[in-house]
Amino acid sequence: MTAVIRVENLGKCYRIQHEQSRQYTTVRDELSAVFHNLGRSRATVSEETFWALQEVGFEVREGERVGIIGRNGAGKSTLLKLLSRITEPSSGMVSIRGRVASLLEVGTGFHPELSGRENIYLNGAILGMSRRQVQQRFDEIVDFAEVERFLDTPIKRYSSGMYTRLAFAVAAHLDSDILIVDEVLAVGDLAFQKKCLSKMKGVTETGRTVLFVSHNMQAVKRLCDRALVLSDGRIVADHTVDNAIKSYLDMAMSEGGGAGIAEQIAGLPFDPAVQFEAVSVSQDGRSTEEPETDKTLDIRVDFKVKERVRGLRIYFDLCDADGAVLLRSFHDEYADSRSVFDVGSYSATGHIPAGLLGPVDYRLVIRATIFNIRSCTGDGVSAPLRPIQTASHNAAYANDTFRAKLVVGGNWMVKRSD
């Protein structure tokens, strides 16, 4: 097949300025400095060079579904912005054949003062489509987005979920050759995410190409045939989707264990509402990566709420070695109404009950999200688990190979019936 995207030696460099203002101790010193430096800058400016992408090269052929995965700061969004022509590269080249529809951030390409109806036509015009061509797909877009009641309302009044539904519907239904989708689907509800994944899968059957960035490995596996793994602005793996995900998870496990939880917390993305301060995984009050299988495991999150927020959920995923989520536990799993947090410091403690884990490798991922709005902690905080099988489990067959993912203990009863 023909290559519709060709990237060669691509790089993107940013210059970061650091200002160090002079310090004064008295009003007289301050006033003296103002007159002395009149017309001159008082700040000492130092400049740092940061390469968000370096020496990136790959090809994507027509009709391919390619996932792009990596930790926060790996360069995924920068790469998509370069492919979408939102920003220019510092080095190398990007060659694209065909029209590109991008869904990179909530709000990209939409005008907040215009209605949903007007923004559909605006996006069509940006893609080079005539009004008649947009009109032919208009009803499909509205039906898919499920925003018919609010179609003539300025989209600045839409919720993030409504905004995303409409933005995706426009990008997926208008006449583009290449569809580029970033992690924005994370703000939609589960039913809509499934709907979007099915739509993107259907899009490729018409010969269109999809590039998909997500932290949800199951979504990447379901949609994509191939994946690129980015780390520190470079492609470190380009494989079939299964092999690429394995490479990424192996790397994430290694980095998560080596960097330590405190360093991971320091590297979490900024969120205006919530900030993780500490995360611990412990058993019997002691931090551990090797819990005993017959004892409860405690996961504690200390976090700060910086503005009043409704729908904030602290949760953890227990994943297997392939990244599949075996169980997910929210702090408000059985609450009658959505959580409301006022400004302040909090701690939340969840548990994995005794007798559930087997003697195999797992990975815990702890995150925070605001329901139907956004993920607050990106990749979250990752911690490896390597449980130790204790004598009480499978004692009569201690050398038997453990083949399952989880254990359900004590639910059998055998009795003699004659």
The domain segmentation of the chain, as residue ranges, is 13-50, 53-255, 260-396
pLDDT bin (cut points 50, 70, 90) of residue 122 is: confident
pLDDT digits (tens, 9 = 90+) for 297-315: 999 999 999 999 999 999 9
Classify domain 260-396 at the CATH class level.
mainly beta
When mean pLDDT is compared over 33-37, 105-109, 153-157, 257-261, the highest value belongs to 153-157
Model pLDDT, residue 309: 94
How far, in Å, CA of 223 to CA of 244, rounded?
Answer: 14
User: Does position 258 have pLDDT exceeding 50, yes or no?
Assistant: no
Q: What is the DSSP pairing of strand 374-375 with strand 309-310? A: unpaired
Residue 313 CB neighbours (<10 A): 18
The contacts of residue 297 (CB under 8 Å, 6+ apart) are 281, 282, 283, 291, 351, 352, 357, 385
User: Does position 187 have pLDDT exceeding 70, yes or no?
Assistant: no
Residue that is written with structure tokens 């215009």 in the block: 114
Q: Which of 10-14, 121-125, 195-199, 261-265 has the lowest mean pLDDT?
A: 195-199
Mean pLDDT of 397-408: 80
Model pLDDT, residue 37: 62
Residue that is written with structure tokens 């709000």 in the block: 107
Model pLDDT, residue 367: 95
Model pLDDT, residue 253: 60
Q: Give me the percent of the chain exceeding a pLDDT of 90.
A: 32
The contacts of residue 78 (CB under 8 Å, 6+ apart) are 12, 52, 53, 87, 233
User: Does position 24 have pLDDT exceeding 60, yes or no?
Assistant: no
Model pLDDT, residue 325: 87
Residue pair 355/393 in contact (Cβ under 8 Å)? The answer is yes
The H helix count followed by the E strand count for the chain is 9, 20
pLDDT digits (tens, 9 = 90+) for 78-105: 898 899 888 899 999 999 998 887 877 6
Residue pair 260/278 in contact (Cβ under 8 Å)? The answer is no
How far, in Å, CA of 232 to CA of 72, rounded?
Answer: 9
Q: Which of 4-13, 201-210, 367-376 has the lowest mean pLDDT?
A: 201-210
The contacts of residue 164 (CB under 8 Å, 6+ apart) are 106, 184, 185, 187, 188
How far, in Å, CA of 236 to CA of 218, rounded?
Answer: 20
Mean pLDDT of 374-401: 81
pLDDT digits (tens, 9 = 90+) for 48-59: 788 889 999 999
DSSP run (H or E) holding 87: none
Mean pLDDT of 38-47: 59
When mean pLDDT is compared over 192-206, 250-264, 342-356, the highest value belongs to 342-356
* Residues forming beta bridges with residue 114, ordered by sequence position: none
pLDDT digits (tens, 9 = 90+) for 188-230: 566 777 787 788 778 777 778 989 888 777 778 888 889 999 9
Global pTM value: 0.63
Mean pLDDT of 104-129: 80
Model pLDDT, residue 246: 82
* CATH 3.40.50.300, domain 53-255, yes or no: yes
Return mean pLDDT, the chain: 84
Q: Give me the percent of the chain exceeding a pLDDT of 70.
A: 86
Q: Which of 122-126, 154-158, 226-230, 314-318 has the lowest mean pLDDT?
A: 122-126
User: Does position 21 have pLDDT exceeding 70, yes or no?
Assistant: no
Model pLDDT, residue 318: 94
Model pLDDT, residue 110: 80
